[in-house]
Amino acid sequence: MPALSLVVCVYKERDLLARLLQRVEGCYDDLVVVHDGPDTLDIRGVVEACGGRFIESAHCGSLEGQSPFAWAQARHDWVLRLDADEFPGEEMKAWLKNFRAAPAPDASISGFTCIWPLWNGKKAISKKCWAGRVFLFDRRRVRFFGLVEQPVIPDGRCEPLDLVLHHQPNRKSYGFHNVLIRKQAYRWRALIAQSLLGKPTDLPCWRWESETWPLGWEQIRRHPLETALRRLVLGFLRNLRNHWRTERKLFIEAAINGPVHHALICLKFWLVRRKHWRKTTAKKSTSN
């Protein structure tokens, strides 16, 4: 019977975390919450009231950057990875309880994925989109480096499940506000761009040893502007196709959200790299 560690990385999301812990009660055997920087809202009290362990870690600006450290604090190898603004649906809760009571999965299974419905700030507007969110994995069978928006990379297969993980922040979970106005999006893009100047091993890593970037990130490094255009156009069309196939609906704003964000990541990297090259050239000229 596999025991589960619920691991959550947070930053000032006290009320959302309290909601998550209330909704996920009885679904885990160990609770670890890592705060990105000093806790000024007594989030520790919320966690310890649920019998969990609360850890303040040095601020790095992203949950991905905290994840390798947080997973290492878990008492069990099966990690239930949830964000503070998420919580499991009733069917997922029942599945998690059954999972803990059943024999351990086959060693070929690295984890499980679920459905992540679109949230318009008031209600979920989809039932099958988006699929593929890894919510549970065996930390012995995944690799990872702490780049913003980097998913875990499984050694084996991640089994898709028709279960819902609700993603309900205090805003829409998609839309132009998220990528064009929200300050956090600009900070994330800056972190990604700066990180791509180096190697993945420069970042906090979990079982990751290669200095080579995976193809998706390497495309940005090699051809940022071309990749921006391709992802903007093709990503939008693929999203529309996925919406129609799964929902028989088209969510235009949600379909363009990710492609715009990725195009802006590419553009930000191009600008950061150009600035880096100019500084490097200027230093060489000065030294000569």
**Can you give the pLDDT at residue 288?**
62
**Can you give the pLDDT at residue 107?**
93
SS3 letters across the chain:
CCCEEEEEEECCCHHHHHHHHHHCCCCCCEEEEEEECCCCCCHHHHHHHCCCEEEEECCCCCHHHHHHHHHHHCCCCEEEECCCCEEECHHHHHHHHHHHHCCCCCCCEEEEEEECCCECCCCECCCCCCEEEEEEEEHHHEEEECCCCCCCEECCEEEEEEEEEEECCCCCCCCHHHHHHCHHHHHHHHHHHHHHCCCHHHCCEECCCCCCCCHHHHHHHHCHHHHHHHHHHHHHHHHHHHHHHHHCCCCHHHHHHHHHHHHHHHHHHHHHHHHHHHHHHHHHHHHC
In the predicted model, what is the mean pLDDT of residues 212-241? Answer: 97
User: How does 261-277 read in b/e, with b if 16+ C-beta sit within 10 Å?
Assistant: bbbbbbbbbbebbeeee
**Can you give the pLDDT at residue 166?**
97
pLDDT at 280 over 90: no
pLDDT at 234 over 90: yes
At 88, is the pLDDT very low, low, confident or very high (cuts 50, 70, 90)? very high
In the predicted model, what is the mean pLDDT of residues 177-205? Answer: 96
pTM (2 d.p.): 0.94
> What does the alpha-carbon distance between residue 200 and residue 244 come to, in Å, rounded to a whole number?
36
Q: Domains in the chain, please, with CATH?
A: 4-167 (3.90.550.10), 176-287 (no CATH)
Q: Do 58 and 140 contact (CB within 8 A), yes or no?
A: no
Give the number of other CB atoms < 10 A from CB of residue 32. Answer: 22
- In one letter, which amino acid is 120? N
Per-residue pLDDT tens for 30-80?
999 999 999 999 999 999 999 999 999 999 999 999 999 999 999 999 999
Residue 42, both tokens: 């007594």
**Can you give the pLDDT at residue 281?**
81
